[in-house]
Amino acid sequence: MLPFLYKIAQQFYTQYGNELYRYTFVLPNRRAGLFLQKYIAEIAGRPLFSPAMLTIQELFASLSSYQLADRIEMLVMLYNHYRKISGSGESFDDFLFWGDMLLNDFDDADKCLVDAKQLFRNVHDFRSLDDDLTHLTEDQIAAIRRFWTHFMPVEGSEAKQKFQETWKILYELYTAFRNELHEKGRAYEGMMFREVAEKARDKEERTWRTRSYIFVGLNALTPAEVMLLKHLGNLGMADFYWDYDSPPVRDPQNKASFRMAENLARFPSKFTLQAGDVQYEKTVVELIGVPSAVGQAKQVTRILSRLIESGAIPDPGEAIHTAIVLPDENLLLPVLYSIPQEIGKINVTMGYGLSHSSVASLVEHIALLQQNLRTRNGETAYYHRHVKALLNHPLVKMAADGEAESLKEHILAFNRIVVPQSEIPDHPLLSLIFTPIAQWQEIGDYLHQIFSHLYQSLTMVKRKDQSSDVTDAEMHDGEPEEMRAVDLEQEFIVQYYKTVTRLQDRLSGAGNMTVETWFGLLKKLARSISVSFSGEPLSGLQVMGVLETRSIDFENLIILSMNEGVFPMKNASGSFIPHTLRKGFGLPTHEHQDGTYAYHFYRMIGRAKRVYMLYDTRTEDVQSGEVSRYFYQLKYLYNPQFEISERVVAYDVAAPESAPVTVTKTAGIMRKLDGFLAGNEKFLSASLINNYIDCPLKFYFTAVEGLSEETEVQESVEADVFGSIFHRLMEIIYNRYKNRTVTPDVLTGIASDEVYLTEILEQAFARYYFRDEENPRPLEGQHYLIGEILRSYVKQTLQADQQFTPFQYIGSEYRFHAAYPVRDGLTVNFKGSIDRIDRVGETIRIVDYKTGSGPTDFKEISRLFDASKSNRPYQILQVFVYGLFYLMENPGTRVSPAVYYLRSVFRDFDPSICHDKHPIGDISIYMEEFSEMFRSLLKDIFDPEVPFSQTQNQKNCEWCAFKDLCNR
């Protein structure tokens, strides 16, 4: 198989030898030019002056009198004209989307040499269609008729009316915009193309009389290109070579052949290229379905290894005849990381969207931070979620890990919903990022400084790695993977730096703009920028996008994303010009796009020996899981020329039956449990006992291993904080009456003292919510509302307490620490805190407050320990434990337990705990039975033979923090 460009090189070197430098080759892309140069050098076998290589765009630019204008600059210019002509007050932000679309439409119109006046004509009246159309073709007239018939009358359709209003000004806008560009000596690509084509049409040949051009491997020519090529052909200055060798490309039924006949007839070749040295062999085509996007990259590893093993890649260090083609650039990084070690050099000739880089995500977080600045006590403050997103960003962690971590801890410790400027740690990067921006003009410098700092930090990381971690083997194999990743990051940062500079320069004349608009523009600009990778020129495995394959041939092709909608790409209708008009005026439509894509595909595989096509089989989200139509065409239309096989890589995605998680009490775990034995430092509590009953494994996680849920900044008052504030309020209120008698009047007096209640509410919020006890502050917004709910709960509790008056308040938060004998040789530490203790007559009331609702009645003691049933009355077990220990410390006391459920306290509520509907006036009569079960449970906990197993009652797992660990 001789590559197309090799045959060109052979033909022209044979023909012109040393004189070849007098010619200029015009190719579809730069890569093709490099390959052609390489082949010429190989054939010559000695140094010679190389001919010039240009892309078709470069040729037009070289013949034009204009300089290519910057896109952002053009958008600003177009916007200013639009506002002047339309009188619209539309913001730049809103204009951006369709301003961009208009630029593309103007570009298309000029490349297709369309009469813009006729295209953008304003048809107020159907009869005006008959005027002034004489110079248009029948097709164009029909298109205009069809389009405007559909659009009139406009009454009743707001969308059509709006369209017509904009359409009305398009020609004026187009003209004014072009005039300004012309005056500045600048142009968009289409404008350059039109200028050069018109010069060619007017036979202004003097500017390009000096050279001979050889056009190689082009296909979809625009009318402007056709005009120039014709003109150069007529002057005898041009020769043309088309790559239409592949049989499917020559099939008139195949869309790939869309332009062939016309091009060959219009632009014939002077020489006949040598036929390939071998007849076309059957190309091996393997279609591989993979149920994941990144999984395709993993398959690349296997395919390359197979090619190396089989000798299809004879020298893995120099795999230049093998290409990986990526129709979806998102797969570039996964693919790069999947290339086997044996492949020495990799040459990436495609862009990787700047917007996919990690510096892009950092800038997005910075934008959010700056767009949501707040002021707290006269100081700039940042919303905690934006701050945390930045602190967790890999680039910030890389440069300021210690300070970022301590700031995160500080935010949590003080529950900072907004983080004041003064609390940002003193670190150069954090100081740079957390500098408030007031005007868009400041953003450029601000970002530049951040980028410079990050770049330097990455350089230091590299130096450190080079001096320490790199093994001999890694050095031998070239750059280690981590270093490649650092290089990539640095490249992205440099590109972002340049992009910011460009944006700042272009916008220097722009008027008012918000910080938000500026960041929006940057994002948009970044989306349009691809970082091109430049490896060793022409050596190693080639990784490229579809367009980069034009004119180049490979023996082994691995094409990823062979999904319908990706390759060929789905039609994107980014045009203001309706399809009928596009068609009528000969502007590119999706039919053209289909033909162009088909040509790229069939030409690319035309000389390959092996083609591996990978596709994503998934059907979720935007994925259709559908194989590209090209494969089906190969299979059903061109089968005799290919040896086709198909397979789907199956991953076992069925979730394995997860084995139950059980923790055996090893010697180590028993040692940890010993910590709870009398005389040691750890204590059991009523809530840990409830944990054990609900799930022994959960007890193990919390009590033995000390695991807990991750703490979060609480933006709203969560249930636990709500409960703590309520407890505190009741404690403050009753502490004034310690060991005194509480009468109905006392309770009524407290409940009606609003000023006092407000004051203690602020104190309790400062302690438990703002975590700043020294500085109580007035409650605002949602805190005020929650404060009012608490106020009403307090009043209702005081109301409920009326039924026990007169009573003596003994204390709140009564704490006990006790050694509890379980059996011989086993005494355990226990501690607890009883919310409140009163004396009513001869009875001691043990009171517990609960924020929710729950039972106050139970049937049997055993129900308190039975986790198999839902709604186990764990609240009652808790007050029984309190009763047990209170009695241990105060034997002979008559104890009555009570639980105040705040959700129930509004109704006619009696908080007394009842056994089978009878209020318990003396808990001691239940203690024998309770203690027996309690001891048995404690024996289990400390029994080395009883493992910590998962609960059988999966309802208990519903809100458990360890669900993920347990696969529940």
Query: Which residues contact ligand SF4 (rule: CB under 6 A)?
Result: 695, 697-698, 950-951, 956-957, 960, 962-963, 966, 968
Of 789, 793, 719, 714, nearest to 751 by C-alpha is 793
641/691 with CB nearer ligand SF4: 691
Provide the token pair at 21: 């430098």
Provide the token pair at 607: 């000389």
Of 235, 236, 229, 237, nearest to 265 by C-alpha is 229
Question: Within 10 Å of residue 349's Cβ, how many Cβ atoms?
Answer: 22
The helix (run of H) or strand (run of E) holding residue 612 is: strand 610-616
927/957 with CB nearer ligand SF4: 957
Shortest distance, CB of residue 671 to ligand SF4, whole angstroms? 22
Distance of CA 390 to the CA centre of its chain: 14
| Furthest-apart CA atoms within the chain: distance in Å | 122
Cα gap 677→286, rounded to integer Å:
68
282/955 with CB nearer ligand SF4: 955
308/695 with CB nearer ligand SF4: 695
196/867 with CB nearer ligand SF4: 867
Question: Within 10 Å of residue 374's Cβ, how many Cβ atoms?
Answer: 14
705/943 with CB nearer ligand SF4: 705
Return left, alpha or beta for 551; rule: phi > 0 is left, psi -120 to 50 is alpha, else beta.
left
Cα gap 534→527, rounded to integer Å:
20
710: CB partners within 8 A, 6+ apart: none
Question: What are the Cα distances from residue 30, in Å, to 9, 58, 534, 562, 839?
Answer: 16, 10, 12, 25, 93
Shortest distance, CB of residue 852 to ligand SF4, whole angstroms? 19
Shortest distance, CB of residue 704 to ligand SF4, whole angstroms? 12
Shortest distance, CB of residue 698 to ligand SF4, whole angstroms? 4
- Assess contact for 730 and 698: CB atoms under 8 A: no
Name beta bridge partners: 915: 858, 918
Shortest distance, CB of residue 876 to ligand SF4, whole angstroms? 21
- Assess contact for 783 and 765: CB atoms under 8 A: yes
703/760 with CB nearer ligand SF4: 703
Provide the token pair at 898: 């009570």
CA angle 91, 93, 97 (to 5 degrees): 115
Q: Tokens 């020298």: give the residue.
A: 315
Question: Within 10 Å of residue 272's Cβ, how many Cβ atoms?
Answer: 7
Shortest distance, CB of residue 968 to ligand SF4, whole angstroms? 4
108: CB partners within 8 A, 6+ apart: 114, 190, 575, 577, 587, 588
561/691 with CB nearer ligand SF4: 691
Shortest distance, CB of residue 693 to ligand SF4, whole angstroms? 11
Secondary structure class of 587 (helix, strand, coil): coil
220/663 with CB nearer ligand SF4: 663
Return left, alpha or beta for 540; rule: phi > 0 is left, psi -120 to 50 is alpha, else beta.
left
| Backbone phi and psi for residue 682, each to the nearest 5 degrees, phi listed first | -100, 155
360/966 with CB nearer ligand SF4: 966
338/951 with CB nearer ligand SF4: 951
Shortest distance, CB of residue 657 to ligand SF4, whole angstroms? 16
269/967 with CB nearer ligand SF4: 967
- Assess contact for 763 and 779: CB atoms under 8 A: no
Cα gap 532→257, rounded to integer Å:
31
Shortest distance, CB of residue 957 to ligand SF4, whole angstroms? 3
Cis peptide before 334 (omega within 30 of 0): no
Shortest distance, CB of residue 948 to ligand SF4, whole angstroms? 9
907/963 with CB nearer ligand SF4: 963
690/856 with CB nearer ligand SF4: 690
146/968 with CB nearer ligand SF4: 968
Residues found in the chain: 968
- Assess contact for 684 and 828: CB atoms under 8 A: yes
84, amino acid identity: K
Q: Tokens 């934008």: give the residue.
A: 367
742/966 with CB nearer ligand SF4: 966
2/661 with CB nearer ligand SF4: 661
| Backbone phi and psi for residue 325, each to the nearest 5 degrees, phi listed first | -110, 130
Shortest distance, CB of residue 958 to ligand SF4, whole angstroms? 8
Shortest distance, CB of residue 516 to ligand SF4, whole angstroms? 44
Tell me the pairing of strands 67-68 and 186-187. parallel
Q: Tokens 């595989």: give the residue.
A: 605
Question: Within 10 Å of residue 960's Cβ, how many Cβ atoms?
Answer: 20
Shortest distance, CB of residue 864 to ligand SF4, whole angstroms? 18
Question: What are the Cα distances from residue 450, in Å, to 355, 366, 368, 431?
Answer: 17, 10, 16, 10
35/700 with CB nearer ligand SF4: 700
Shortest distance, CB of residue 720 to ligand SF4, whole angstroms? 18
Shortest distance, CB of residue 842 to ligand SF4, whole angstroms? 42
Of 563, 666, 594, nearest to 292 by C-alpha is 563
Shortest distance, CB of residue 656 to ligand SF4, whole angstroms? 17
Question: Within 10 Å of residue 107's Cβ, how many Cβ atoms?
Answer: 17
DSSP string spanning 129-176? GGSS-TTS-HHHHHHHHHHHHHH-S-TT-HHHHHHHHHHHHHHHHHHH
Shortest distance, CB of residue 710 to ligand SF4, whole angstroms? 16
Shortest distance, CB of residue 470 to ligand SF4, whole angstroms? 43
